[in-house]
């Protein structure tokens, strides 16, 4: 089984990984040998702090080994050949890539699970940590209203899919032309029919944040978009998360961000540093959720 996008796990499996994550967090010693004699290949085309550290720490804490390679894929040989080498030596391949198609190709050639550590389309490992964080903070995910304000990017796509799988109410406000991927929107709408979740796709911030339990944002300039930085900063300026938005939301509304933030761009420093901000809880939970996910993929529970 591979994990390239959020919906590679069924809703029941997402819940299972979240329950396992809570157990990992509370009783880490129980998991100390779960990856004994297992090796994880880590391929990173892009920079990372959280994903790279939590993978390596998580694998080590479960008694396994990880081997890291930074650099473009493919470098010297075709992606299919890379996959057919790595699968002979390792038990899981985890890759952070520019193009999602690179992951698809790794998957097509690999007999061992391939995990998406972020692509241009999705960031599913992040969203597992976000769901654990919300569950801890609110006691349950049931009925939560999550407003994403900013760029319809990889993090937004993954949040949209997971919220639809689990029946949350997701609203996304982006500038015109920066909406989430239309295929992902369609997939989320279909999932919502079953889960009873809802989805609002809008350019209007007020409609998205009114009554929301969570206001989530991400950088306006994702890795690989550096050349568009000036244009993006201008277009996204009205979408900066401010105190004003929280006045339209609920009393207990929390702020979330996958990190890294671009200082004083997508969110004010006051909100980022406030008691509402769960950003470092999210970051901590990257460790517990990646351990649970790897354990689930290798051992099935």
Q: Which does 18 bind (CB under 5 to 8 A by kind): ligand NVA, ligand CP, none?
A: none
**Token output for 154:** 């990889």
Site for ligand NVA in 172-201 (CB under 6 A): none
Q: Is there a catalytic annotation at residue 163?
A: no
**Residue 121 touching ligand CP (CB under 6 A):** no
Distance (Å, whole) CA 299 – CA 120: 29
Smallest gap from Cβ 102 to ligand NVA, in A, equals 14
Distance (Å, whole) CA 85 – CA 141: 41
**Residue 288 touching ligand CP (CB under 6 A):** no
The residue annotated as part of the active site, out of 169, 258, 276, 288, is 258
**Residue 217 touching ligand CP (CB under 6 A):** no
**Token output for 284:** 């901590």
The residue annotated as part of the active site, out of 126, 130, 169, 257, is 126
With CB under 6 A as the contact rule, the residue among 112, 258, 290, 297 that binds ligand CP is 258
- Number of neighbouring beta carbons within 10 Å of residue 231: 12
> What crossing angle do the helices spanning 154-166 and 11-26 adopt, rounded to 10°?
100
Q: Which does 49 bind (CB under 5 to 8 A by kind): ligand NVA, ligand CP, none?
A: ligand CP
- Interface region with ligand CP, contact rule CB under 6 A, candidates 50-58, 78-86, 168-176, 191-199: 50-58
With CB under 6 A as the contact rule, the residue among 48, 158, 165, 253 that binds ligand CP is 48
Q: Which residues of 159-192 are buried (b: 16+ CB within 10 A; e: fewer)?
A: bbbbbbbbbbbbbbbbbeebbbbeebbebbeebb
Q: Is the link from the previous residue into 74 a cis peptide, with omega within 30 of 0? A: yes
The residue annotated as part of the active site, out of 218, 232, 257, 276, is 218
Cβ–Cβ < 8 Å for 289, 129: yes
Q: Which residues bind ligand CP (CB under 6 A)?
A: 48-52, 118, 126, 258-260
Q: Catalytic residue numbers? A: 96, 123, 126, 218, 258, 286
């Amino acid at each position: 089984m591979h994990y390239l996008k959020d919906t590679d796990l069924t809703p029941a499996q997402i819940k299972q990984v979240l329950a396992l994550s809570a157990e990992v967090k509370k009783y880490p010693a129980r998991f100390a040998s779960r990856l004994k004699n297992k090796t994880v290949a880590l391929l990173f085309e892009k920079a990372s702090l959280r994903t790279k550290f939590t993978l390596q720490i998580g694998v080590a804490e479960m008694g396994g080994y990880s081997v890291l390679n930074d650099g473009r894929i493919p470098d010297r040989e075709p992606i299919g050949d890379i996959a057919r080498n790595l699968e002979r030596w390792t038990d899981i391949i985890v890759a952070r890539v520019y193009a999602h198609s690179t992951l698809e190709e790794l998957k097509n050639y690999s007999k061992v699970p391939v995990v998406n550590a972020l692509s241009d389309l999705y960031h599913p490992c992040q969203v597992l940590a976000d769901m654990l964080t919300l569950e801890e903070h609110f006691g349950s995910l049931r009925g939560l209203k999550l407003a994403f304000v900013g760029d319809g990017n990889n993090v937004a796509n993954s949040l949209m899919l997971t919220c639809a799988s689990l029946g949350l109410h997701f609203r996304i406000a982006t500038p015109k032309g920066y909406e989430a991927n239309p295929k992902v929107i369609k997939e989320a709408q279909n999932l919502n029919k079953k889960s009873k979740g809802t989805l609002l796709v809008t350019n209007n911030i007020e409609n998205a944040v009114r009554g929301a339990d969570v206001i989530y944002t991400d950088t306006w300039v994702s890795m690989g978009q550096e050349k568009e930085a000036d244009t993006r900063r201008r277009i996204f300026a009205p979408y900066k998360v401010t105190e004003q938005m929280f006045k339209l939301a609920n009393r207990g509304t929390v702020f979330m961000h996958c990190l890294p933030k671009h200082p004083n761009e997508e969110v004010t420093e006051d909100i980022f540093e406030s008691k509402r901000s769960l950003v470092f809880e999210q970051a901590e939970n990257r460790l517990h959720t990646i351990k649970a996910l790897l354990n689930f993929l290798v051992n099935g529970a």
